[in-house]
């Protein structure tokens, strides 16, 4: 049976911006002010997404002076998941293209 924390994790990463945040953090910790420059969203919006990921236990932060530097605290879960999603996207795109070519070749003029 799927546990409540597993459901919360899946819900937290299901948003496209949150997936991009995780891709960004996959390379290492980043302070929120630097991350804010990497995403075309407002600072309050970024804060909400970071909070959702933190509440789900996916990321955490360490204080460096007045800054909060975020990092992935479940890299053994998130890194393979991101790799899977990226590889599946390539497969889906390739399959769609192949299907389009097949449909094109079957058209009767």
Topology (CATH) of 4-106? Arc Repressor Mutant, subunit A (1.10.10)
- pLDDT tens-digit profile of 27-54? 888 887 766 678 778 888 888 999 999 9
pTM: 0.72
Distances (CA, A) of 59 to 16, 78, 103: 16, 10, 44
CB neighbours of 79 closer than 8 A, spacing ≥ 6? 26, 72
State both tokens at 11.
């819900």
Sort 12 into a burial class: Cβ within 10 Å, 0-12 / 13-18 / 19+.
buried
State the DSSP code for 60.
E
Pairing of β 30-31 and β 67-72: antiparallel
Name the more confident of 101 and 51.
51
User: Taking Cα atoms as reference points, which of 78, 58, 60, 81 lies closest to residue 69?
Assistant: 60
Which of 84-98 are b and which e, b meaning 16 or more Cβ less than 10 Å from the residue's Cβ? eeeeeeeeeeeeeee
Residue 73 pLDDT: 93
Percentage of the chain lying above the pLDDT 70 cut = 79
The four Cα atoms 89, 91, 92, 96 give a dihedral, to 10 degrees, of 140
pLDDT exceeds cutoff 60 at 77: yes
């Amino acid at each position: 049976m799927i546990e409540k924390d597993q459901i919360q994790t899946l819900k937290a990463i299901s948003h496209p911006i949150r997936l991009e945040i995780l891709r960004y953090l996959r390379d290492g910790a980043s302070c929120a002010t630097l991350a804010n420059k990497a995403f075309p969203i407002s600072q309050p919006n970024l804060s909400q997404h970071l909070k959702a990921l933190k509440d789900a236990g996916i990321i955490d932060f360490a204080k460096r002076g007045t800054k909060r530097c975020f990092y992935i605290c479940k890299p053994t879960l998130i890194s393979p998941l991101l790799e899977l999603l990226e590889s599946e996207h390539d497969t889906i795109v390739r399959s769609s293209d192949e299907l389009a070519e097949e449909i094109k070749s079957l058209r009767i003029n």
